[in-house]
Structure formats: C-alpha cells, structure tokens
Chains A and B, each alone.
Chain A
Amino acid sequence: MNIIVCIKQVPDVTEVSWDPETGSLIRKGIPSIINPNDKNAIEAALQLREMNGGEVIVISMGPSQVEEALRETLGMGVDRAIQLTSREFAGSDTWATAYTLGLAVKKIGQYDLIICGKEAIDGMTAQVGPQLAEYLAIPQLTYVMHIEVKDNKVRVKQRLGDLDRLLEAPMPALITVEREAYQPRVAPMDSILEAYGKEIPVWKPEDLSGNMENLGLKGSPTKLRKVYTPKLIKGKVEMLEGGPEDVARQFIGKLKEKYII
C-alpha cells in the first residue's frame, strides 16, 4: 500500500509578530517548522504502513530550505521524500499549489492514498487537499479522525463539529486529517541518523509534465492585494448585574441588539 503525504513548511506562528506600520508579517529570524497538522497526516500514513505494509512518500513544494522539513519527515520514518523547488513555483495560491502537487503525484505514479493535514497554520484555507483531489478526480474524505483500509476501500470517521460520520470510498482517495487525530510520534534517534543518508530528489517544472502557465504567481487565480491588521475599535465595558440566568438573558439580548445573533 503506497501513501503520499503532502506537507508544507510554515513559519512558527508562536514566534511571529506583525509590523505595526506596514501590517505585514515579520518573517526575519522566525524559525520554520513542518505545519503541525501535516505531522498528523504523516503519523496516520506511518501507522497505516505499519498495519498494511507499503511505502510512505512525502512531497513538499517550497523554497530550498524545505529540505530541512523533508529531512525531519524522513527522521519520523517515511521512506522517501521529494522536494518541489523552483522560482516558477513561487507565489502559488491554493489552486496553483494543488495543480503542482497534482503533477508530482502523477509523476510518482502508483498510489493508494494521499493524506494531507486539514489546513496550514499560516494560510488556514483548508483548500489544497480538496483541490488536489478534484484535480486528480479521486474521492476526498475530509476532517478525518480515524482511517481503516480493507478490501481496497478506505473507511474513515469524519468529524463535523458535534457530528461524527462514517464514510467509505474506493481507493485511490485523498484524506485530510484533523489536529486531534494521530498524534505525531517522536522521531526515533536511529531514524534521524538514517535520514541524513537519504537522497531527496528536487523536481522542477521541467520534471513535471504540466502547463507552465498554471504554475506559481502566474497561474494563481487569487491575487493578494494587501495584508493588514484591522484597526482595533475600542469600546466601553459594560458590567451586567444579577443572577447567572438573568445575566445570560441580558447578554443574549445585547447580542441580538447588535445583530450579532
């Protein structure tokens, strides 16, 4: 059973700050990490491999330093890692990203599952996984808490708020996993040492048989016009008085008054 995991390297948002003048992200000196949710995807893939055999391949598109993230996934125990790095890929929106990843998946060839994290902590769109499934024309199973594979079918538990659904799809299929599922393992020390002995191929546009017009900023339908921090509107604090039930009623009334609910 072959599983492809798509990961993204993101700035460690716990250490990110904003330039109050320009409203833009101060990236200088901010360490990069594997998008935390993508580590859940890797863990899910590793556990499925341990149960069903096969291979786990990780792909990631990004600047050259994405190699560091890929080494870390090899340290966690994935079999192979492939890096998609080129100036042509820069500035991709979710559509162009999914398109590029899709080309890489087609180049890899045979696979049974693609697993992605639900969303990245920097963009928080949760779009790339579903867009990749659309591009490859395979079933997509999102917000997944648990995965089982049987008789060439994949069965998952999907969490939608308070609701859980059990879904089944033929393989190949794409899954996006939730943060609460598949807590990532500690990278074993021997695996880390081996990770540095493995070669990570770097694929460029010429290695992927796609339309160059669909890559990077050029191929992105979404254009980023401006990033800014909304001005903080300072209001008055109003203390509500009375018993808990009374205060709750007053509070609901206030929210209705402001058309919040």
Chain B
Amino acid sequence: MDFNLSPESKMMVKAAKDFCEKEIGPIIDEIIEKDDYPDDLLLSFAKARMLGLNIPKEYGGVGTTNLNTILITEELGKTGSVCAYPMLMNNSTAETIDYWGSEDVKKTFLPPLCDGSAYASTAFTEPGTGSDPRALTTTAVPDGDDFIVNGTKRYITGGNKKGYGVFYLKDEALKGEKGDVTAFIVDKSSEGYTSSAPWSLMGLEGMNCVDVFLNDVRVPGTNILGERGNGFKILLRWIAGERIQQAAYMVGLGQAALDESVKYLGERVVGGKPMGFMQGFQWMLAEMKGRIEACRYLTYRAACLQDEGNAIDVVSSELKVFVIPAIQEVARMALQIHGSYGYSKEYKVERLFRYAAHAGVVASSSEINKTIAGSALLKSRR
C-alpha cells in the first residue's frame, strides 16, 4: 500500500493551488457580492486544462485519473466557495456523456464541454421529487425522430448558462413500464427553454442554481444517452461520482479551516502569549487534523477504487456518511476557535462554515446515503 502521491499528481496539486491564488482568490468577494461568477471563469478553467480531466484526449479532454481529478478538486475546496462548480459540473457531466454516449454524441458534445465554450448542467430534481424517479413529471413525448419536452426542473446548477445539460425525463412512450426515465442531452439555447432567477442559497452565493422551464422544447432522438428507460441507472452512477467529488471538496474546505485556525492561534495574543499555547485549543487542532486526515484517505481510496473500475455506489455513500459531518464539525471548531471573529464576514472561517452546511443536502442527502450504505450491509448477509 503506497500512500505517496506520484510526482505528476503533486505537480497537478501545485498547479491547482497556483490557479486558486491567481484566478479564484481575486474574484471570490465579487462573486459573493454579485451572486454570480464572471462569464470568463469557465474559460480560465479551460486554459488551465482543468475541464474534461478524466475525458480521453481524442474528445478534447486531459485523460487523467479520477484520483488526480479529486486531488485538484480538494485544492479548489480550500477556497470554500462555489467557484469550482462550473468546473465540477462540466467534468462530471462530460464523464457521464463519455460513459453512456454514442460515438456521435461524444464527438458533438464533449469538445465544447472541455474547451469551456459550453456550460454543463445535470437536471433531475423537480419541485415534487426527492430521490424518487417515479415522481418525475417532466415528459418527453416522441415526435418523429425527435422528442417534445415539457415540464419544470428545480435547483439546476448553471441552468441559466449557455451550453448543454443532461436531463432526466419521463419517457412517455415507456409509460407503465418499470423503467420509464430516459436521459437526454438538452441544448440550453433551445426554443422554449427558459430559466428563473437564481435561488438565494446559504453559503452558495454565485452558484447559479435556477429553475428551468421546458415548454415544447424539441430534442433530437440522437441526444439520448444509453438505452431508453435506463435514465435512473445513469443518474445513480453520476451521483456516486458526485459524492466523491463533494467529499474531496469538503476535505479541502476542512484543511482551509484548520490552516486558518493554526494561523489565528499563532497570531492572536492573550495575556502576553499566543492563544495556541492554551491546551484546550491544541486539543481542538488535533481533533480537526485527525478528522481531516481520515476523510482525506477515505476519499483517495474511493477515487482509486473508481479508477480500478470498481462499483462505487455504496463506497461513495459510506464516504459521504462519514466525511460530511466530520468536516462540518471541523468548520464549526474553526469558527469556535476564532470566537466572535469567526462569526464575522471579515474572516474566511465564516464563509467555510456556511459553505460546509450545504453538503449534507446537495448531491443526495446524508440520510439517503445512510440508507444506501446500511441496506447494502444487510443485503450482503442474504
């Protein structure tokens, strides 16, 4: 068992850190203030070749491993902001298209997602659905070689940005069958496609999470991913990868919270000594560090399993069950260490704390992941 990262992995981490300092750091405050990111942010990611990280080179990707992808994601997580979302969304959506798409679909849709000319989205959730595909109401009705799509999708990240989205729709021609959800690639510039103003979300300023309204949107039948009726399977595979990405982002966030705390305890003087001399704070640092390290190596392991071609549905759920509360606690401890300053927007830990809060409800709730992980254990006894 080798816990050392390869030299190229280390250099990628270094480059990602450099990217955060040069491209993300200077715009974070502006993004939070405007609740939007600059239009050229995706192009900055493309220039640094951080889009299509695990997409083969022939489709414009970088062709690296999932482990390298999550190492980069971890570094971006240290910013404790939504800045990485355009990158994460493009990468995970592109990976789904690469895995399930036909050769023509891959050639059409992967290059623009890798070169930053198209923003990706993934659209499953609707006003009345949780994780239940049976509750979907947005329909795709066959019309010649095309499909006509009608309905509303909720909380669609980047749904208001031009590009392509993988939409999970009720395939009307399969009505009554066990699997009636089909995954379609929808051009977000299509006639009849509109979106709401972004939702105002705690800690996720600039996320561009919108409702999408589909009114007689025509989608070519060639835009179908995988087999018709296999949509939920495609979604579950996508969301399993999302959990690993999210865990990596949270590990980065936790590390940032610890770094800020160490810095603060070294600088803040109480009674003539830096606060770090107090044993109580040292204990808190030790607990934070232990949690982060445990989360880090669980996340790396999950990514390695993914690289080896193993199923990650249960592993990624177990990961989420452990990592999210552990890092949320790290963020809380960082805020506590900073005292009332931690509650001030002047200090980074305030942002980290608010950002961390979302992780238990986005990309499948912690509770549904406990159900997945727990029921898998019981199934294994049968």
Interface residues of A (CB under 8 A from B): 68, 71-72, 75, 183, 185-193, 195-196
Contact = CB atoms under 8 A, between A and B. Distances in A.
B123 interface: no
**Residue from A68, A191, A192, A195 with most neighbouring chain B CB atoms (10 Å):** A192
Closest 10 CB pairs of A and B: A188-B49, A189-B49, A187-B15, A186-B19, A186-B48, A190-B62, A190-B49, A196-B8, A186-B18, A192-B11
Contacts of A188: 15, 47-49
B110 interface: no
B64 interface: yes
Contacts of B50: 189
A58 B68 CA distance: 27
B176 interface: no
B57 A187 contact: no
B7 A189 contact: no
Nearest to B8: A196
Given A71-B11, A75-B15, A196-B8, A189 B72 contact: yes
Contact of B11 (A183, A190, A195): A195
| Interface residues of A, dominant DSSP | helix
Nearest to B11: A192
B105 to A, nearest CB: 23
A184 to B, nearest CB: 8
B138 to A, nearest CB: 36
Contact of A71 (B7, B57, B62, B72): B7
A188 B18 CA distance: 11
Interface of B: 7-8, 11-12, 14-15, 18-19, 22-23, 47-50, 53, 57, 62-64, 68, 72
B57 A190 contact: yes
A192 B8 contact: yes
Nearest to A68: B7
Contacts of B14: 72, 187
A75 B50 CA distance: 14
B62 A193 contact: yes
B53 A189 contact: yes
| Interface residues of B, dominant DSSP | helix
A74 B288 CA distance: 37
Nearest to A189: B49
B110 to A, nearest CB: 15
A32 to B, nearest CB: 12
B25 to A, nearest CB: 12
Contact of B12 (A68, A183, A185, A189): A189
21 contacts: A71-B7, A72-B14, A75-B11, A185-B47, A186-B15, A186-B18, A186-B22, A186-B23, A186-B47, A187-B11, A187-B48, A188-B15, A189-B12, A189-B15, A189-B50, A189-B62, A192-B11, A192-B12, A193-B62, A196-B7, A196-B8
Contacts of A193: 8, 62-64
Contacts of A191: 49
**Residue from B15, B23, B57, B62 with most neighbouring chain A CB atoms (10 Å):** B15
Contacts of B72: 189
A75 B15 CA distance: 9
Nearest to B50: A189
**Residue from A71, A72, A190 with most neighbouring chain B CB atoms (10 Å):** A190
Contacts of A185: 47
**Residue from A68, A187, A191 with most neighbouring chain B CB atoms (10 Å):** A187
B62 to A, nearest CB: 5
Contacts of A196: 7-8
Contacts of B18: 186-187
Nearest to B9: A192
Nearest to B6: A196
A186 B43 CA distance: 13
B67 to A, nearest CB: 13
Contacts of A71: 7, 11
Contacts of B49: 188-191
A111 to B, nearest CB: 27
Contacts of B19: 186
Given A68-B7, A187-B18, A193-B64, 4 more contacts: A188-B49, A189-B68, A192-B11, A195-B8
Nearest to A184: B18
B11 A72 contact: yes
A248 to B, nearest CB: 33
Contacts of A72: 11, 14
B76 to A, nearest CB: 12
A188 B14 CA distance: 11
Contacts of A68: 7
A251 B48 CA distance: 51
Nearest to A72: B11
A68 B49 CA distance: 21
A192 B12 CA distance: 7
A176 to B, nearest CB: 23
A234 B32 CA distance: 47
A96 B270 CA distance: 53
A149 to B, nearest CB: 24
A189 B7 CA distance: 13
Contacts of B64: 189, 193
A68 B7 CA distance: 9
**Residue from A71, A188, A189, A195 with most neighbouring chain B CB atoms (10 Å):** A189
A64 to B, nearest CB: 14
A188 B47 CA distance: 7
